[in-house]
Amino acid sequence: MASDWIHIVENIILKGCSYKRVPVCIAEYDGNGISASSGSLGVDERMRWIKDNIPAAFYDSLLELDRTRMELNEYKNSELGKIIPIVSHTRRFSKRARKLVLFLYRINSIFSSSSKRNKNQIKKK
């Protein structure tokens, strides 16, 4: 199932072979075969190939890079992530903004925890 993926990784990525896009339909994807309905089988096969063919240190670095990328995307797509480029123009302003945000976070925590306590007390009665 992962043979096309393995071919691309081995030849284009690892060996640096060139490729050319040809605007001709070679095959049509049915969507009813084993590769479409097997769930994580294709992913498991790819992971097995990676573990067998990629050095462990490089593999670990790739996993860490992927975790970092996912975390960065989380921040980037958050409400605060949208204002980070604006706030980051100067170091001094960044420090001030950080202090302000942490102060607001503490205030929010106080009100959030007291409202949770009030809700829990109401539920107990």
Domain spans of the chain, in order of start: 1-54, 91-125
* Cα distance between residue 110 and residue 87, in whole Å: 26
Q: How confident is the model at residue 4 (pLDDT cuts 50, 70, 90)?
A: confident
| Distance, CA of 108 to CA of 80 (rounded, Å) | 15
CA separation for the pair 38, 77 (Å, rounded): 31
Which pLDDT score is estimated for 121?
52
Identify the three-state secondary structure at position 76: helix
Note the pLDDT of residue 99.
94
pLDDT mean across residues, the chain? 83
| Inter-residue contact 97 to 87 (CB < 8 Å) | yes
pLDDT tens-digit readout, 27-71: 887 777 666 666 666 788 888 898 899 898 988 998 899 999 999
* Model confidence, pTM: 0.46
The proportion of the chain whose per-residue pLDDT surpasses 70, expressed as a percent, equals 82
| In contact, 6 and 54? CB cutoff 8 Å | no
CA atoms within 13 A on the CB side of 13: 9
- As a whole number of angstroms, the distance between CA 1 and CA 49 comes to 12
pLDDT value at residue 42: 77
Rounded to whole angstroms, what are the CA distances from 103 to 90, 93, 94? 20, 15, 14
Q: Is the model's pLDDT at 124 over the cut of 70?
A: no
